[in-house]
Amino acid sequence: MSMNIALSGLGAAQKDLNTTSNNIANANTYGFKESRAEFADVYSNSIFSNSKTTTGGGVQTATVAQQFHEGSSIYTNNPLDLRVSGTGFFAVAPNKAEPANNNLTRNGAFHLNNNNEIVNSDNNYLLGYEVNQDTNTVASYEPKPMAIDDTFGQPNMSKNMNIAMNLPSGEATPKSTPFDFSNPDSYNKATSSTIYDSLGNPLKMSAYYVKQDDTQPGVAPNTWSVYYTVSDSGGEKALDVQNGIGSGNGHLGHELQFDAGGQLVTNPPNFQTVDFQTAGIQLGGADGTQNLIFNYDEPTQYAAPFEIRKLEDSDGATTGYLSNVDIDSDGNILASYSNGKDKVIGRVAMARVANEQGLAQLGGTLWNVTQDSGAAVWGDASQGSFGSIKNGTLEQSNIDMTQELVDLITAQRNFQASSRALDVNNQLQQNILQIR
């Protein structure tokens, strides 16, 4: 009997050593959760024995329980490195065609594969929810693999140019007249912006501002002339304003007149140009009927420097190529493109269970739900009991190396003690066998 008790002690000590060694080996495994061997005594009794004098039957391993407290953070430069700060798990699927067959993980080391799908190092697909682009709300809580488009947006030609600016009141008239865009002495200020034709080709649009000489007959005080040009492969060409004012070189611009308080009195404050084909701009097959409408948003003439407060092309865009991926604390996956457009791809799916220690460990820092853990509850990051998501951050293992080394020494001492008990039992049996 005592031999079996000592053997059970050896087995328990070995299990404790194995558990501790596994914890130490995974100290640098992202999202790893430490395990703890829990033991129970063995006791048996019968009607033929006296319960007051019966000894225990040894020890048994009750369970190896994982501890799901959070690990510390490690910061990276990868925006697809994620950690859950609080309760919850990421969901990954080994087969993108079967997202319902998924596993849970706290390891958020993700990247894009060759199809721009978000995967982990084992090529399991990160699951997320589709998002309504207009309201930025989850359209369906059915988790699906997340893929990011490498291009976004169809080419769209520029049309409306929204401008807010200040023209300095103290400006003198230019040294040279009439206006000539090739002569810097014939205008006071100039600015430029990129516009797009119907094929998405970029063109340079320039605006020139000329302070008029109010000492001349018919010229009102605080009046500026504005002229526009567009540059193509053949050079810079005038983009005349419909029914605009003329200049000595035949260019047609328009006027901006201000009152004594520096406020615009020109009515209406928007001006439409002739089409690009009429202006002789080479478009290479793009729509030649394109023209521009300049909408001035409360321009001013104050005693302040020349300032462009807004120069916005509200329509034009070219095809954008993926330039950056970011994930916010709510789990929204935001893709940025080279054309300045942003798109919410989806929202990272979060899952939790009622009993985390009931999860079945699969290896690779993966767990699967069981009857003991309860069914997975799906939701959003930062909502309800779910934790937030931090990008550029990974969760390290929750191993306390100091405690593990202490546990290792304790398990070693227990093994030695049980081994000694087994040795003593063996010696006693040998002594009994030698009695004649």
Which pLDDT score, from 0 to 100, does residue 47 have? 61
Q: Note whether 90 and 140 are same-domain residues.
A: yes
Q: Note whether 126 and 269 are same-domain residues.
A: no
Q: How far apart are CA 43 and CA 53, in angstroms?
A: 12
Among residues 294, 313, 332, which one ends one of the domains? 313
Which pLDDT score, from 0 to 100, does residue 105 have? 97
Q: How confident is the model at residue 142 (pLDDT cuts 50, 70, 90)?
A: very high
How high is the mean pLDDT of the chain? 90
pTM exceeds 0.85 for this model: no
Q: Note whether 176 and 37 are same-domain residues.
A: no
Q: Note whether 118 and 253 are same-domain residues.
A: no
Q: pLDDT tens digits, residue range 275-333?
A: 999 999 998 899 999 999 999 999 999 999 999 999 999 888 888 888 888 999 899 99
pLDDT > 70? residue 134: yes
pLDDT > 70? residue 48: no
> Considering only 53-57, 211-215, 343-347, 367-371, which range has the smallest mean pLDDT?
53-57
> Considering only 223-237, 315-329, 385-399, which range has the smallest mean pLDDT?
315-329
Question: What is the SS3 assignment for the chain?
Answer: CHHHHHHHHHHHHHHHHHHHHHHHHCCCCCCCCCEEEEEEEECCCCCCCCCCCCCCCEEEEEEEEECCCCCCEEECCCCCEEEEECCCEEEEECCCCCCCCCEEECCCECEECCCCEEECCCCCEEEEEEECCCCCCEEEEEEEECECCCEECCCECCCEEEEEEECCCCCCCCCCCCCCCCCHHHCCEEEEEEEECCCCCEEEEEEEEEECCCCCCCCCCCEEEEEEEEEECCEEEECCECCCEECCCCCEEEEEEECCCCEECCCCCEEEECCCCCCCCCCCCCCCCCCCEEEECCCECCCCCCEEEEEEECCCECCEEEEEEEECCCCEEEEEECCCCEEEEEEECEEECCCHHHCEEEECCEEECCCCCCCCEEECCCCCCCCEEEECEEECCCCCHHHHHHHHHHHHHHHHHHHHHHHHHHHHHHHHHCCC
Q: Note whether 169 and 242 are same-domain residues.
A: yes
Q: Note whether 301 and 332 are same-domain residues.
A: no
Which pLDDT score, from 0 to 100, does residue 431 have? 75
Can you tell me which residue has the tokens 């798990």? Answer: 89
Which pLDDT score, from 0 to 100, does residue 161 have? 95
Q: pLDDT tens digits, residue range 189-218?
A: 999 999 999 999 999 999 999 999 888 888
Which pLDDT score, from 0 to 100, does residue 400 have? 92
Q: Note whether 289 and 224 are same-domain residues.
A: yes
Q: pLDDT tens digits, residue range 5-27?
A: 878 888 888 999 999 999 999 99
Total number of domains in the chain: 3
Q: Note whether 45 and 12 are same-domain residues.
A: yes
Q: How confident is the model at residue 49 (pLDDT cuts 50, 70, 90)?
A: low
Among residues 313, 348, 374, which one ends one of the domains? 313
Domain that holds residue 250: 160-313
Among residues 380, 395, 410, which one ends one of the domains? 395
Q: How confident is the model at residue 248 (pLDDT cuts 50, 70, 90)?
A: low
Q: Note whether 279 and 224 are same-domain residues.
A: yes
Q: Note whether 371 and 288 are same-domain residues.
A: no
Q: Note whether 184 and 264 are same-domain residues.
A: yes
The domain that holds 186 is classified in CATH as: 2.60.98.20
Angle between helices 401-433 and 2-25 (to 10 degrees): 160
Which pLDDT score, from 0 to 100, does residue 436 have? 59
Q: Note whether 379 and 300 are same-domain residues.
A: no
